[in-house]
Every structure is written in C-alpha cells, then in structure tokens.
Amino acid sequence: MIESFKGNYNWLSNFYLVDIKVSHRIYPSVEHAYMAAKCTDLIWKTKCQDRSITPGKIKRLSKKVTLVSGWDEMRVTVMESLIDSKFNDPYLKEKLLATDDLHIQEGNMWNDKFWGVCLKTGEGENNLGKLIMNKRNKLRYG
C-alpha cells in the first residue's frame, strides 16, 4: 500500500511540478490548475499560471477567491480531468503503471477526509487516491 504521497511517492502529489494544460493555459502543477478552475476571474487564472508561486501558496491564496457556482458538485470531475492530464505525461505514466495493483492512499496530517485519509484517525474517503487508481486502470486496460 502507498500510504501517502511522501518520499518515493511525492510524484503522486498534486504539488508535484508537471505542466498541466487546460484549454489554452499551462499550469505548473495539478494544484495550480485545480485552484484556477475554482474561479472564473481571468486575472486569478493568470496568477495560477505563475511558476514562481508554489503549489502551497496558490492553495492558500485560493481561499480568498469567489468559487464558481456549483463548485462542490463539479470538483471531482475537474480533479479527474487534471489527473488524466498529469498521468498522460510519459514519465509519470510509467511510474504510475509501475505501482502495479498497490492501493494508493492520499494520507495526510491536515485532516482532509474528502480527498484523502487522515493519518491520525484513519478516516477519509480517499477520493484523490481513487481517481489516481482509476487512471492507472484506464492506462492499463484502456
């Protein structure tokens, strides 16, 4: 089992730097692209493309944006699309396929029970881990 996206598995993290193309824009990570998708403001989307802003900082800054209407209903679909894009990168595709059938868990210490599993309590839906495992299956079986 991959318990968290640390150490040898840091490339699974949404903070991992890899170009993500959404429409005509290129973002430096899944995190940047996901935060850009939360808002329709073009100035915000351009800020999210800035490679000098770390994924952690863009996440913190996103707490101030006005969310698009219906964000909670669309966030999993948005993330799935970004995960698809990330793992179409040949290097990351190969690494993901090399995980064979290992269970992938986005274990965290910040109590995110929607995208991951809180390592303190063992509770969480692990939606990000599930999306990554689904992408692995699509790559493997078509």
Q: Per the structure block, which two tokens stand in for 139?
A: 């790559």
Helices then strands, each counted (H, E), the chain? 6, 5
For 94-138, how does the pLDDT look when each residue is reduced to its tens digit (9 = 90+)?
A: 999 999 999 999 999 998 999 999 999 999 999 999 999 999 999
Say which amino acid occupies 115: W
The structure tokens listed for 66 are 């006005």
Q: Answer for the pair 33, 51: CB distance below 8 angstroms, yes or no.
A: no
pLDDT band for position 142 (cuts 50, 70, 90): confident
> Which of 10, 8, 7, 49 has its CA nearest to residue 32?
49
For residue 77, give its domain range.
2-141
**Count: domains in the chain:** 1
* CATH number for 79: 1.10.357.40
pLDDT band at 8 (very low <50, low <70, confident <90, very high): very high
For residue 28, the one-letter residue type is P
